[in-house]
Structure 1
Amino acid sequence: MTVKPLNVSTLRRDLLSSFVVFLVAIPLSLGIAVASGAPIAAGLIAAIVGGIVAGLVGGSPLQVSGPAAGLTVIVADMVQTYGWRATCAITFLGGLLQIALGACRVARTALAVSPAVVHGMLAGVGVVLVLAQVHIVLGGSPEHSALKNLGDLPHQLMHPQSHPALLGALTIGVLLLWSRLPRHEGGGPLAALGRWLPGPLPAIALATLACWALDWNAPRVDLPDTLLGDWHPPTLPDGPLPAIVGAVVSIGVVASVESLLCSVAIDRRRPTGVPQADLDRDLFGQGSANAVSGLLGGLPVAGVIVRSTANVEAGARTRLSTIMHGVWVLVLALMCGPVIEQVPLAALAALLIALGVKMIDTARIRDLQPHREAPAYFATLLGVVVLGLGEGVLLGIGVMAVLALRRLTRLSVHIEEAIPTPQDRPGLADWHVVVAGTLTFLGVPKVTKALQAIPAGTVVDLDLDVDFMDHAAFDAIHQWRLAHERQGGRVDIDEVHEAWYERAVTGEMPPERKSSTSAPWWAPWANRQRPDQGPVLDTPEVSPSALLLAGVREYHGSTARLVRPIMAELAFEQKPEHLFITCVDSRVVPNIITASGPGDLFINRNVGNMVPRHGSRVPDDSVAATVEYAINVLGIRTITVCGHSNCGAMAALLAGGTEVEHLTALSRWLKHGNHSLARFISAEADERSPLTRLCQINVMQQLDNLLTYPWLRERVEAGKVELVGLYLDLETAKVHVLDRATEIFVPVADETSRDTGEASALT
């Protein structure tokens, strides 16, 4: 792994970032220790070890490790079952298990766990946290079971202790107010305060100050005389061996999955020049930290997204920031013990209630619904609350397995009678049948029922759009075909993808499919080849208009019948999901790069994918009219501006417009890019070429131009409209998405790692 050289600028960034993360870590570490039923010092030890050990050894330089809220349920159960010193031994053994997994280089296999299960687990932990900590805020004591806490809640609400309840309300109130402070540059002192001082710190500080000043009767933090207190080595847990092994595996696996997902999320946000995360090394580092933490009497350690995100946003560039945050915690624990002991437990509990509510992120449910994975989320959530964390996760994995099996056996059969064509087939009517999905023995009854409903003696066009066909399905279709043809009918079978039917009939690999071209439908005309004539454009007599009509004929022959049912539904109403503003460049094909179909994108194309600013001196309402219609009439809630590499419009801007000054209309239009050019000139140069920098800056500027329209800005700030920036690298055919916080275009994850994209919601 290459290490970014440390210079004065980097050192300044890292030291500042480490202090910001330290301010976030202190209240969270104390609160998680309280929620876990562990000694208060265990939270501080875990924060110190997570920062220093995982920071030194781990493979993700900007990830911050420490006690994690996602592990509280496991740790609390272990403390109740085995006692604290035995729990430390389990943490130590869980760390050794992580080291072994890292040495076996199996880190990426942990990412195979569905995000639905991960987020359901975190939501369940959030519910358990809230139910337990509410009792502490109200002056009571939580029970071991979440259901028992829920059952006792009405009585606790009827008989609260006033001082802890007021301190909890004060803490939550400060957190809410702090979250509403402006964060943007130029927002004044309040914006600077909101950016650099994390909300948990002033919330805990004010509650502590109020408790001390008013001399309220509320339980406070109790620290030992020294950080390690009366230290004793961990003791082996006393209990059935399978249960102990399960506890070790729970700590090792859950901490590993949470850390790896956090590492992937932070890796996608890393600034330019920061090395990519080594997941196997990171697993080794997390295991080392857990082994040391367990040995010293600390909580289990994992990579945590809250502190890691704060680290990146504060400007960290190397692992020094993570290490130094652990050093700051160590200094505070050694020198400021009396101050920490003034913190009321009710304030820490209120902080954890706010954290638990964030873990129950309803936005994840909306993301999972289009993929029909919400049942696994809710099953995991309820399982964690009712049965326990391990059982809930297993239940969620089981539900995901059922959903996956259901998808693998999903089959649709669409049948329609076409308009009779007596001039071609006198007395016959065409029937069009489309079978799509996975065709196995489970789908045979559905297919045969549809096929047997077709009258005898008719011509049937059967499209098999299947990704797999087993022998039972083949035999059912083949026998029906033979019977239908014996009764005077005719069956034309067309296989859209692989030729499963043809291969079964011939007993060998089928010949190449007959087509007017050898290249796929999305290939340029120049790449296509006719079987008898050679490349299309090499035929002199083919004019551009004839080539266009040839493409239309190919569409009619191979694609129109497939999209006809969709187009019929869309014929009288469109419901696009996105407004897509992009360049007129012929190399940019929105429906290809987004894998979208008819009715998905409402597209506006212009030279340079530009959006004229509101009230610009060179008036042009074409883009504004599109935006108004998309938002106010079609109800679209996402606007995407997509730029691309080697853009001719941006090249003309770089050249000062001299190359196109004879094109008067184009020259006027390019004046809308002057703000992009000014932004380019004022920005610092980096390793990208000037043209690439301008092409990407132009996308950012057009998103800002959209915000110059007051009515649209109001909707964006209210969260009713989302703005997205994309950049297509023509040479690699890869699409990058703009991270608005860092103003960096990051690659869109491929299909194999798509599921980890939700990792940024982990808390």
Structure 2
Amino acid sequence: MTTQLEDKSQQQTGRRPNAPNTLGADIAASLVVFLVAVPLCVGVAVASGVPVELGIVTGIVGGLVVGLLPGSSLQVSGPAAGLTVLVASAVAQHGLGMLGIIVLGAGLVQILLGVSRLGTWFRAISPSVVQGMLAGIGLVLILGQIYPVGGLEQPSTTAEKFGGLGELAVAMVTTPQGLAGVGLAVAALLIATAWKKFAPAAVSLVPGALIAVVVTSAATALLALPVKKIEVGSLLSSLNPPALTDFGAINVAVLGSILTFALIASAESLFSAAAVDRMHDGPKTQYNKELVAQGVGNSVCGVFGALPMTAVIVRSSANVQAGAKTKLSRVLHGFWLLLFVVALPGLLAFIPTAVLAALLIQAGWKLLEIQAVARLVREHRSEAFVLVLTAVTIVATDLLIGTLTGLAVAVVKTAIEVSRLSVNAQHSEDRVHVELGGNATFLRLPRLLDHLEKLPTGKHVHLDLSTVRHLDRACHQAVENWVAEHRRNNGSVDVAMPAKAG
């Protein structure tokens, strides 16, 4: 009788026996993610050279729109430090008015990639290229954000950033803005680091970055420090929806930016998904659905003229570590962002730009992953070469050229490594036995011909290619030509070909 009553009660409530109550955990986690997101949304917008409110809008869309869609359950989306370089470059080249067009187009490309089930292919990109891409972004981010710390405007090009370091160093130690900015930046980094290590357990989930922002902002106000602060306007008035005339201005350069935004944002989101999946035991990411969700989010951001979004590892890891159980936590974080910017926007005006720059420098440093690079140099030097080349090319040129360069070098490196060819010659008095193994492709053709041409003329040669896994047409023709030449020089040859000659 008791069992029947329990079954009837479960049917009425729709709950399984001993089903955990996730609501409280998700609400608590959403507040933690919200506190992490506020300074990052603002900082990424400032670093990208767009109004602060557009970063908040992207965070809201990442919660309220992408948070509801299928794909990943605990991954959180919003404006990412990794895209600041790309956004700043696009705004400088095409103007703020075209940002919505570019982000909208990138979102539509992402949706198309997801619907075409190409999302899982992003996992095939060489990890050294991705790591190099992130390291390059980190270097550019650090190089750009040290200028606001010193109270100077960030130069627009990499060459100007390097060229202005001398002036920046002087400003940091001689001007009131520079001295105050450096002091606030150092204080913010020390507070954020110390809070993570020494915070009491009861408040350890409160992010150190938020504590750093609150303390340094309060100190700035109390001491009336001469530093630049965040400029905040109305959320609605800051929206920058593309006009119909903007679509007529689309050219090859804009299409290139759209494709670059789509590919970089997709790669960052899906690599973040792989990392987040390792952090929890819940449902794993469905890559194609997640790519569609990111595309929908970016399309909405494009309509509003806001920043592009990706899944962000900092917010996602905070969500998991705070105990989130379902996607409700990431949806609520978007709601808290909306409530904050509507009810308390004036609080943002107290934040010094030097403090946000310091937090972004810290984010850029994390992107470098120095320890992982050092380990890669020790264990896989060829992979480390691809990583360093990608990062340096990004710093020297731009994100697209650097990433494509890294991909091209990685493909060539892999082709060379796969095309390993062994040549073993055993000489006797009247004959030579030559055995080839591995893959005989055009990449190894010079080595193959070098060995064959060194064989003595006039002797019998047994050329054994039976263990060659792949023999392409270039090597096949080279062997045939050498055999004909050797026979013309009074030598004899018998050849054992592979079962399937390529």
TM-score, normalisation: structure 1: 0.57
**What aligned pairs does 1:513-662 form with structure 2 within 5 A after superposition?**
none
Residue 138 (structure 1) shift? 0.5
SS at match of 2:436: strand
SS at match of 1:413: strand
Pairing 1:32–2:44 present: yes
Which amino acid counterpart does residue 329 of structure 1 have in structure 2? Answer: L
The answer for the alignment partner of 2:192 in structure 1 is 175
Which amino acid counterpart does residue 220 of structure 2 have in structure 1? Answer: C
Check whether the contact 2:67–2:76 (CA below 8 A) recurs between aligned residues: yes
Pairing 1:466–2:468 present: yes
Which amino acid counterpart does residue 74 of structure 2 have in structure 1? Answer: L
**What aligned pairs does 1:40-439 form with structure 2 within 5 A after superposition?**
40-160=52-172, 161-181=178-198, 190=200, 193-194=203-204, 196-224=205-233, 226-229=234-237, 231=239, 233-235=241-243, 236=246, 239=249, 241-271=251-281, 274-365=282-373, 366-367=375-376, 370=380, 372-414=382-424, 435-439=436-440
**d(CA) in 1 for partners of 2:166 and 2:439?**
51
Judging changes above 3 Å, is the alpha-carbon distance between structure 1 residues 158 and 415 closer, same or farther for their aligned structure 2 residues?
Answer: farther
**d(CA) in 2 for partners of 1:465 and 1:396?**
33
The aligned length equals 475
**d(CA) in 1 for partners of 2:112 and 2:447?**
50
SS at match of 1:501: coil
**Which of the pair is proportionally richer in helix?**
2
Check whether the contact 1:98–1:284 (CA below 8 A) recurs between aligned residues: yes
The answer for the alignment partner of 1:13 in structure 2 is 25
SS at match of 1:9: coil
**d(CA) in 1 for partners of 2:235 and 2:255?**
30
Residue 356 (structure 1) shift? 0.7
Post-superposition Cα deviations, 1:210-249, rounded to whole Å, max 9, x if no partner, equal 112212111111211x332354532326756111222222
> Which consecutive unaligned segments of at least 5 residues does structure 2 have?
1-14, 173-177
Judging changes above 3 Å, is the alpha-carbon distance between structure 1 residues 68 and 7 closer, same or farther for their aligned structure 2 residues?
Answer: farther
Residue 458 (structure 1) shift? 9.2
Could you tell me which of 485, 501, 519 is aligned with 2:498? Answer: 501
Residue 432 (structure 1) shift? 7.9
> Which consecutive unaligned segments of at least 5 residues does structure 1 have?
182-188, 418-426, 494-499, 508-763
Residue 28 (structure 1) shift? 1.0
**d(CA) in 2 for partners of 1:452 and 1:99?**
55
Q: Which has the higher contact order (CA 8 A, sep 6+)?
A: 2
**d(CA) in 1 for partners of 2:494 and 2:386?**
42
Check whether the contact 1:228–1:296 (CA below 8 A) recurs between aligned residues: no
SS at match of 1:269: coil
Residue 359 (structure 1) shift? 0.9
SS at match of 2:259: helix
Residue 378 (structure 1) shift? 2.4
TM-score, normalisation: structure 2: 0.84
Check whether the contact 2:486–2:493 (CA below 8 A) recurs between aligned residues: no
Post-superposition Cα deviations, 1:353-401, rounded to whole Å, max 9, x if no partner, equal 1111111123443337627233332232222222212222222222223
Post-superposition Cα deviations, 1:609-659, rounded to whole Å, max 9, x if no partner, equal xxxxxxxxxxxxxxxxxxxxxxxxxxxxxxxxxxxxxxxxxxxxxxxxxxx
Judging changes above 3 Å, is the alpha-carbon distance between structure 1 residues 440 and 121 closer, same or farther for their aligned structure 2 residues?
Answer: closer
Judging changes above 3 Å, is the alpha-carbon distance between structure 1 residues 239 and 380 closer, same or farther for their aligned structure 2 residues?
Answer: farther
Check whether the contact 1:428–1:459 (CA below 8 A) recurs between aligned residues: no
Which amino acid counterpart does residue 387 of structure 1 have in structure 2? Answer: T
The answer for the alignment partner of 1:560 in structure 2 is none
Larger mean CA deviation between 14-23 and 402-411 belongs to: 402-411
Check whether the contact 1:126–1:359 (CA below 8 A) recurs between aligned residues: yes
Residue 135 (structure 1) shift? 0.5
Q: Percent identity?
A: 35
SS at match of 2:306: coil
SS at match of 1:229: helix
Which amino acid counterpart does residue 469 of structure 2 have in structure 1? Answer: D
Judging changes above 3 Å, is the alpha-carbon distance between structure 1 residues 14 and 150 closer, same or farther for their aligned structure 2 residues?
Answer: same
SS at match of 1:341: helix
Which amino acid counterpart does residue 326 of structure 1 have in structure 2? Answer: G
Judging changes above 3 Å, is the alpha-carbon distance between structure 1 residues 429 and 367 closer, same or farther for their aligned structure 2 residues?
Answer: farther
Which amino acid counterpart does residue 166 of structure 1 have in structure 2? Answer: G
Residue 348 (structure 1) shift? 0.2
SS at match of 1:250: helix
Query: What's the RMSD between the two structures over aligned residues?
Result: 3.4
**d(CA) in 2 for partners of 1:230 and 1:488?**
83
